[in-house]
Amino acid sequence: MINVTKPFLPPQEEYKQYIDEIWQRAWLTNNGPLVNELELKLKKYLNLKHLLFLNNGTMALQLAIKALNLTGEIITTPFSYVATTSSIVWQHCKPVFVDIDSKTLNINPQLIEQAITPNTSAILATHVFGNPCDIDAIEAIAKKHNLKTIYDAAHCFGTTYKGESVLNYGDISCISFHATKLFHTIEGGAVATQKPELLEKMAYLRNFGHNGPYEFNGVGINGKNSEFHAAMGLCNLNYIEAILDKRKKDSLRYDKWLADMIFQRPEINPKCNYNYAYYSVIFSSESECVGVLSELNKRNIFSRRYFYPSLSTLNYVPQNKCKMSEDIASRILCLPLYYDLSNTEIDMICRYIKRYFKSRK
């Protein structure tokens, strides 16, 4: 069986060394030494000023909204994972969807200004599949209208923009370290910011607002992560260059195999060094997409319709037709891509896709 993704796991003995240390200390959570070590190493590797390790990427989005005191309307993309929208709703704000660019699949900055109202407080944009948005245009609009910016950078580990980590942009950037991501801590995520006052505020927010054992600095929540999760991150960080390199090689192999097919692929931002987080293919119709998905499933190869459906169609948000997002969502498929995927398996997947289209002629 070939799944769309498979978590990278370090040598078991390396993880066990950390587990033995945790057992000896009996310090399992509450900002332990491994959590602190991971934060320091991530800041160094990603060249970030400030980062907080959290229990997941959804919590990162919610803390960002809370820390920026956002109310009213937040302009966002309909082409993202559901957590992007649900976090806005969860924080009692209203998502206002702006359609996507058909080539990059990111929010279309040319459509943002017409969606701004007196109730707009922020722009929350997703770097789709780790491919940076038009950050310069979004930041210019935000500055012009005095809006906050949050980037859902869930897929962006290792991606750089204009020579530095894409996480350095916006008021706050949010990343996921879920097991499906190319760098993971089993469950986990982080917030990054260049502003020390926001870091301090989010540090209180992630730990119930604790300011010492008996005092509280405002309302907080439990956004902490454990020593066990940090240990997995510390192990995996040792292999990140190999992981990134393998993903690039596998993506280029797919490119070579599928070069003669009539597929659309996302247009990568020319100002970035891409991390090859996903390998997505956009078919000419939904029937083609579903047909390939079904054909691969018969062979125990499980790709994924991602992102699907367009978030503009969710039943708990104001209905707002986003033609491009809904169209792309109906015919996009992410093919298997992970560290253990072999060349033979990639070749087989591509042959089955080609065979499917040949049989339709």
Q: Where are the domains of the chain?
A: 12-98+106-237, 240-359
| Other residues' Cβ atoms within 10 Å of the Cβ of residue 100 | 28
> What is the DSSP code (8-state) at residue 98?
-
Q: How far apart are CA 71 and CA 216, in angstroms?
A: 23
Q: Is the pLDDT of residue 318 over 90?
A: no
Architecture of domain 12-98+106-237: 3-Layer(aba) Sandwich (3.40)
**Residue-wise pLDDT tens digits, 151-190:** 999 999 999 999 999 999 999 999 999 999 999 999 999 9
Q: What is the mean pLDDT of the chain?
A: 96
CA dist 335 and 354 (Å) reads 14
- b/e sequence 217-250, b meaning 16+ C-beta within 10 Å: beebeebbbbbbbbbbbbbbbebbeebbebbeeb
d(CA 301, CA 278): 16
| 23 has pLDDT over 80 | yes
Q: Please report the pLDDT score of residue 320 as a whole number.
A: 83
Residue 198 has pLDDT above 80, yes or no: yes
361 confidence band (pLDDT: 50, 70, 90): low
DSSP 75: E
Place domain 240-359 in its CATH homologous superfamily: Aspartate Aminotransferase, domain 1 (3.90.1150.10)
Phi then psi for 55, rounded to 5 degrees? -80, -20
Mean pLDDT of 272-289: 97
